[in-house]
Structure 1
Amino acid sequence: MLFAPVSTELSFAHGGNTLAGDLVRPPWPGPHPAVVFVEGSGPGGRDLGSWPTRLAAAGFASLAYDKPGSGASTGDWTRQTLADRARETMAAVRAVRHRDDIRPDAVALVGGSQGGWVAPLAAALDDTIAAVVTVSGPGVGVLAQEEHRLRHQLPAEGFTDADAEQAVALLRDQIRRIRAGDNPVRVHAAQARWRTAGWYPLLAGTTPESIAFLAGIADHDPTQALAALRCPLLAVFGADDVLVPVAESVRAITGILRDAGHGDHQIVVFPHADHGIRVPAGDGPATLSHGRYTAGVRAPGFDEMLVTWLQRRLDMA
């Protein structure tokens, strides 16, 4: 048989928006277990490279969709909270479950980066989610993660510790002023003199819209959602990730799940891997850009581990 995954555009409604994505499934008859991808920060879209094909070869259908205001989806992602994103994720799950070629009892979530906060929130809304995988999903709150990112990513990309501290000061000022009721346009204008700095684009808030979005999610703490989680969890990290406090996240997630009596979780850290669980390729120098290796390949064993873990939790082994 010539392996050719079947791709179908799937649209669903949530919050007055129409979200569009691609449902990719194996070429053989279903019903199939399914994965709904939960995107990270920024505009984001349905292009997840080889992952949908990799999952289809393993027997899974998967849905990746454009975030509001991106690609073919309507709306504006900068107006969302993480709770909004969780409810949107569950709308995507319902759209997938309603198909005859999908097993409604076997739908898992895979959340990357910021999606690692959103996926457990979504699973807390629906205890029939079969499993959750987080990839570089922080175990700490938003503000702690952003401060860590600036203090580690900027020096890793050639900026000084003083630059990093100035960036942290701007971050804190943005959030403080928005919380106090200031207009995001004024907050953005007040930081105009820093916009020519080489590190400025690495701030999460560089426009009035992104400043408002960041301030709106800054108080999020993943503790409650993780403590409420009842389905199996796989949390994956890269040891060389400069965007997320890996050791602190591992300790936090381990402690929260232990205290909650969660019985089926696995936390895996891949050595020498970045935020995208990629390792340097070849023998040349490893160069980081935006927290990722510019010439990297997925960490050996990552694909196989994720697929095998999902197969076992979704009764496919």
Structure 2
Amino acid sequence: MSRSTVYRYGLLLLIIGVVFSCLDDSPQVNEKKISFPSGELKISGSLITPTDLPGPYPVVVLVHGDGAMPYDAYGYYKPIWTEFAKRGIATLSWDKPGVGGSSGNWLEHSMEERAEIVRNAISYLRTQNAVIDQQHIGLMGFSQAGWVLPKISNQQHQVDFAVFVGTAINWLRQGQYHRSINNGTGSNPEFYKTLPDSLLTQAVKQNLSFAAYQSAHQDMLTSDPNYNEGLFNDEARYGFIAKNWMNDASSELSQIDIPILAAFGQDDLNVDINDSIYHYRQAFAHNDPELLSIKQFSGASHGLLQSWFWNTQSPGIAHILMIEFFGKSMFADNSLDQIATWVERQVQH
């Protein structure tokens, strides 16, 4: 694509975005910058509250998926917290450690350490009696947060409900699915679940150092001319995987005693939603099946966005711009309305 074509598309998107923003009747929100301690870390974020409705407000704590996420997830959260604000619900989100105003490094954290930050966020909310309805604090987590939320949701009196979006059950199984889709070999569970471990997975299972993994990769290239697995070059990310590869949410899910909504896009390229749905149902069969609601959204991606445009394992700048310009309309199959309505029912109890 030529530079002039890129400029034309950019100008067109800008014009469309301006038009949509002028037509937008979404309620305005108050955004208060906040911070709270988590161990030795200082976590910075924002508390979003409605402008047109009186408090104290029920609140949804947004828990990031993978990656170096700022508090607004590069604009992805804005339509979500706006939809909640319409219903008189506040939201809390924060910069991951090492991002924005938060200290630390998110790549050094296990899922348990991630959960501890969520617990400390809830502790912060418990001090905000004038603003927050203490009877209605819930969670909404995305993708990787599926290994974080159960660690909070299964502790009595911590939260009142939780929404899981595009979440997997088993770290290694999800990795196999992701690799199978990425390699173009398909989503058939009879195939991807039998894939041999990648060299990277073998290395973390054997507790190899990053240098030892790289050496093993070079040995494979030397010994096998047909070897085609790419070299993983990110040492910090390697350490993150080594900390977390054993995660499986099944046991903790079976202990949850609050209402749960598990939401999935039917065109998800990152997570085998059928595997997740099966294990969610199995987990709640041992607890209370009535607590579990499952929604599948047609034409929806991993993040419940319009898959006709969005279906990629790694969204880029164009996708961020589309959310900025089109907001809620980028979410597929009325998914945002349905999730917000479910949350609204929980906070009315």
Q: Give the structure 1 partner of residue 249 of structure 2.
A: 222
Q: Give the structure 1 partner of residue 98 of structure 2.
A: 69
In 2, distance between residues paired with 1:136 and 1:255?
Answer: 17
Aligned residues: 296
Q: Is structure 2 residue 195 aligned with structure 1 residue 171?
A: no
Going from structure 1 to structure 2, the CA distance change for 1:65 and 1:287 (only over 3 Å counts) comes to closer
SS in 1 for 2:98: coil
Which deviates further from its counterpart, 117-126 or 93-102? 117-126
Q: Is structure 2 residue 234 aligned with structure 1 residue 207?
A: yes
2:165 aligned residue (135, 145, 153): 135
- 8 Å CA contact 1:174–1:211 kept in 2: the answer is no
1:106 Cα deviation from its structure 2 partner: 0.5
SS in 2 for 1:109: strand
Q: Give the structure 2 partner of residue 255 of structure 1.
A: 282
Q: Is structure 2 residue 14 aligned with structure 1 residue 14?
A: no
SS in 2 for 1:155: coil
Going from structure 1 to structure 2, the CA distance change for 1:188 and 1:79 (only over 3 Å counts) comes to farther
- 8 Å CA contact 1:177–1:187 kept in 2: the answer is no
1:252 Cα deviation from its structure 2 partner: 0.8
CA deviation map 1:7-56 (0-9, x unaligned): 00110111210000011101132100001001001221211232222211
Q: Give the structure 2 partner of residue 36 of structure 1.
A: 61
Q: Superposed, which structure 2 residues align to 1:70-219 within 5 Å?
A: 70-99=99-128, 100-138=130-168, 140-155=169-184, 168-178=197-207, 182-188=208-214, 190-191=216-217, 200=230, 206-219=233-246
More helix by share: 2
In 2, distance between residues paired with 1:126 and 1:217?
Answer: 25
In 2, distance between residues paired with 1:199 and 1:6?
Answer: 48
In 2, distance between residues paired with 1:144 and 1:166?
Answer: 10
Stretches of structure 1 lacking an aligned partner (at least 5 in a row):
158-164
- 8 Å CA contact 1:241–1:291 kept in 2: the answer is no
Percent identical residues: 24
Q: Give the structure 2 partner of residue 289 of structure 1.
A: 312
Which deviates further from its counterpart, 16-25 or 94-103? 94-103
Q: Give the structure 2 partner of residue 266 of structure 1.
A: 293
In 2, distance between residues paired with 1:153 and 1:33?
Answer: 40
TM-score of the superposition, structure 1-length normalised?
0.84
1:191 Cα deviation from its structure 2 partner: 3.9
More strand by share: 1
Instruction: Give, as a single letter, the amino acid of the residue that structure 2 aligns with 1:313.
Output: Q
In 2, distance between residues paired with 1:278 and 1:199?
Answer: 31
- 8 Å CA contact 1:46–1:66 kept in 2: the answer is yes
Going from structure 1 to structure 2, the CA distance change for 1:92 and 1:82 (only over 3 Å counts) comes to same
In 2, distance between residues paired with 1:57 and 1:75?
Answer: 34
1:213 Cα deviation from its structure 2 partner: 1.0
CA deviation map 1:202-229 (0-9, x unaligned): x9x6411111111211111111211110
1:71 Cα deviation from its structure 2 partner: 1.2
TM-score of the superposition, structure 2-length normalised?
0.77
If asked which structure has higher relative contact order (CA below 8 Å, sep 6+), I would say: 2
1:183 Cα deviation from its structure 2 partner: 2.2
In 2, distance between residues paired with 1:124 and 1:214?
Answer: 24
1:188 Cα deviation from its structure 2 partner: 4.3
SS in 1 for 2:184: helix
In 2, distance between residues paired with 1:219 and 1:25?
Answer: 37
In 1, distance between residues paired with 2:84 and 2:279?
Answer: 30
Going from structure 1 to structure 2, the CA distance change for 1:292 and 1:259 (only over 3 Å counts) comes to farther
Stretches of structure 2 lacking an aligned partner (at least 5 in a row):
1-24, 187-193, 222-226, 323-329
1:50 aligned residue (55, 76, 79): 79
Q: Give the structure 1 partner of residue 15 of structure 2.
A: none
CA deviation map 1:109-137 (0-9, x unaligned): 00000012211211123434110000001
1:166 Cα deviation from its structure 2 partner: 9.8
Q: Give the structure 2 partner of residue 160 of structure 1.
A: none
1:262 Cα deviation from its structure 2 partner: 4.1
In 2, distance between residues paired with 1:19 and 1:123?
Answer: 21
CA deviation map 1:199-258 (0-9, x unaligned): 85xx9x641111111121111111121111011000001111111111111111111101
Q: Is structure 2 residue 345 aligned with structure 1 residue 309?
A: no
Instruction: Give, as a single letter, the amino acid of the residue that structure 1 aligns with 2:290.
Output: G
- 8 Å CA contact 1:20–1:65 kept in 2: the answer is yes
